Structure 1
Amino acid sequence: MSRRPNTSRRFAENASLPFMGALHPKSRPSPLLSIGLVVMGALLIVGYLYRGSGGRSGDIAALNRLDGGVSCALELQRLVPILKKAYGDSTRKVLHVGPETCSVVSQLLKEEDTEAWGIEPYELDDVDGNCRSLVRKGLVRVADIKFPLPYRPKSFSLVIVSDALDYLSPKYLNKTLPELARVSSDGLVILSGYPGHQRAKVAELSKFGRPAKFRSSTWWIRFFIQTSLEENETAVKKFEQAAAKKSYKPNCQVFHLKSLH
């Protein structure tokens, strides 16, 4: 996961209005023009609402719907109430690591008795005012997670990672996973895509430089064992109970690991 140069996603907006003759006062309004204007208006409203959610999650969400992809950062926002039930007091100080961390941190900060920080593994481009504020306050920072994290051991009660690890090779995972477990005191939660799923291709190529590699749960478990990371069985049971009460069906794989002590 090398640091990529500032490359913002630009969406062409060169569309011209069709059927300009229909705007002439002596012309009858075209049904196609009316429909087109309604659709354009709806898209602009939806885009505005998503853009205000923090970071660039609105762009990612729209691309996910268009390309049939899955963003585990968006999935995590559905999971926050369940994680609060499963981890209880361990959600007092949370570090989120991964793309779209401004959106995740913003949501976590709205939770009662929760402090939150975030690490964005890639350069932040075209962010909104909320994200700039989080960066200015030091709550969100950009850092290459292939290198040691700039935190002391057990700096956070819980560390949550979404999307970021799917772009790392095993060579870098060997270094990054123990680092993530090192800075947590009560556990590490990993969200990873299911094999066979895809993410928004346009977003991947512009931001990550390459597509994600989705591994099976068997692959991940074997890798956890190789890196001496243990499953947090207590957290797994509580998470499953809380998820069942919410009738939650995951779109991403969720792993619960113990911290390194």
Structure 2
Amino acid sequence: MSRRQVNPSRRFADSGVVPFASALQSKSRSSPYLSVALIITGALLLIVYINSGSGGFGSSKAAVNRVEGDFSCTTEVQRAIPILKKAYGDSMHKILHVGPETCSVVSMLLKEEDTEAWGVEPYDIEDADANCKSLVRKGIVRVADIKFPLPYKKKSFSLVVVSDALDYLSPKYLNKTLPELARVSVDGLIIFTGYPGQQRAKIADISKFGRPAKMRSSSWWIRFFVQTSLAENEGPMKKFEQAAVKKSYDPSCQIFHLKSYH
């Protein structure tokens, strides 16, 4: 990671703290009440400075997680399944999930009543567990490069859910992959993607994904959807938002609800 230059505002804050600390250490004959007041004030200023500089404890922890590559929209899909069921109803009966760690999502969906689920793993699964390898042997999960046409017929699935996959594709390949995802769906395409600033993969995993993840803003994605003639799936999107409020569900990923091609 490249070293960033010192923020001038921080340098100013630091220069303001040092004289204050020195003043506390000086041998003053002033009242003990004044000394106590100065100590308390100094402590409060230090707390405010630390919080303003790091964004608070929660933000600091999030920053560490991003650097370590702990962030995952595939995990977010699993959290969102009850909300998706409220929004899509019967369309949740036949689902294709596309993305790394798809075996975990497919396994969870298969536990849902009256639900058929398949998965596409875009990357190597040599280190997969026994359950995942079993799903691959049965043909439920396929390993396929999503930069090329998907191995399914048109409108093979009610819904297609994508996570942790599109962020690794350049616009050149997104132009091919997004229409393919819409082609094999009937009732909609749901995309889980990271926010700008979130780091998706550890440096050691770059060789697996081929390139670092590119986190794009919602406005970038919306423009791209328009260019590829993908329209917002307004009905399910509103139901999803309503269900999310009732369940106090606050997603850590951007979620886009798109219509299938007809």
Q: TM-score, normalised by structure 2?
A: 0.73
* Gap change, CA 1:186 and 1:203, over 3 Å in 2: farther
- The CA distance in 1 between the partners of 2:209 and 2:201, in whole Å, is 11
2:119–2:140 CA contact under 8 A, matched in 1: yes
Equivalent residue, structure 2, for 1:169: 170
Answering whether residue 183 of structure 2 is matched by residue 182 of structure 1, we say yes
- The CA distance in 2 between the partners of 1:126 and 1:173, in whole Å, is 27
Q: In the TM superposition, what whole-angstrom CA distance separates every residue of 1:176-235 from its partner, at most 9, and x where no partner exists?
A: 001100100000000000001112424532421321000000000000000000000001
- Structure scoring higher RCO (CA < 8 A, sep ≥ 6) equals 1
- The CA distance in 1 between the partners of 2:181 and 2:210, in whole Å, is 23
Equivalent residue, structure 2, for 1:90: 91
- The CA distance in 1 between the partners of 2:204 and 2:109, in whole Å, is 24
- The CA distance in 2 between the partners of 1:237 and 1:84, in whole Å, is 13
State the AA in 2 paired with 1:137.
K
Equivalent residue, structure 2, for 1:105: 106
Answering whether residue 129 of structure 2 is matched by residue 118 of structure 1, we say no
Equivalent residue, structure 2, for 1:201: 202
State the AA in 1 paired with 2:122.
P
Query: Which structure dedicates a bigger proportion of its chain to helix?
Result: 2
Q: Which has the larger radius of gyration?
A: 2
- The CA distance in 1 between the partners of 2:133 and 2:145, in whole Å, is 19
- The CA distance in 2 between the partners of 1:121 and 1:178, in whole Å, is 16
State the AA in 2 paired with 1:237.
K
- The CA distance in 1 between the partners of 2:91 and 2:113, in whole Å, is 13
The two structures, once aligned, show a CA RMSD in angstroms of 1.5
2:66–2:199 CA contact under 8 A, matched in 1: no
1:69–1:197 CA contact under 8 A, matched in 2: no
- The CA distance in 2 between the partners of 1:143 and 1:173, in whole Å, is 15
Equivalent residue, structure 1, for 2:261: 260
Answering whether residue 82 of structure 2 is matched by residue 77 of structure 1, we say no
Equivalent residue, structure 2, for 1:150: 151
1:166–1:214 CA contact under 8 A, matched in 2: yes
2:96–2:161 CA contact under 8 A, matched in 1: yes
SS of equivalent to 2:80: helix
State the AA in 2 paired with 1:160.
V
State the AA in 2 paired with 1:99.
P
1:73–1:162 CA contact under 8 A, matched in 2: yes
1:64–1:199 CA contact under 8 A, matched in 2: no
2:67–2:199 CA contact under 8 A, matched in 1: no
State the AA in 1 paired with 2:248.
S
- The CA distance in 1 between the partners of 2:191 and 2:76, in whole Å, is 12
State the AA in 1 paired with 2:165.
A
- The CA distance in 1 between the partners of 2:65 and 2:259, in whole Å, is 31
Equivalent residue, structure 1, for 2:68: 67
Percent identical pairs in the alignment equals 77
SS of equivalent to 2:123: coil
User: What are structure 1's unaligned runs of at least 5 residues?
Assistant: 1-62
- The CA distance in 1 between the partners of 2:261 and 2:181, in whole Å, is 9
1:64–1:71 CA contact under 8 A, matched in 2: no
- Alignment: residue pair count: 199
Equivalent residue, structure 2, for 1:25: none
* Gap change, CA 1:169 and 1:68, over 3 Å in 2: closer
- The CA distance in 1 between the partners of 2:136 and 2:249, in whole Å, is 32
SS of equivalent to 2:256: strand
Q: In the TM superposition, what whole-angstrom CA distance separates every residue of 1:86-130 from its partner, at most 9, and x where no partner exists?
A: 100001100000000010100010111110000001121121110
- The CA distance in 1 between the partners of 2:248 and 2:198, in whole Å, is 22
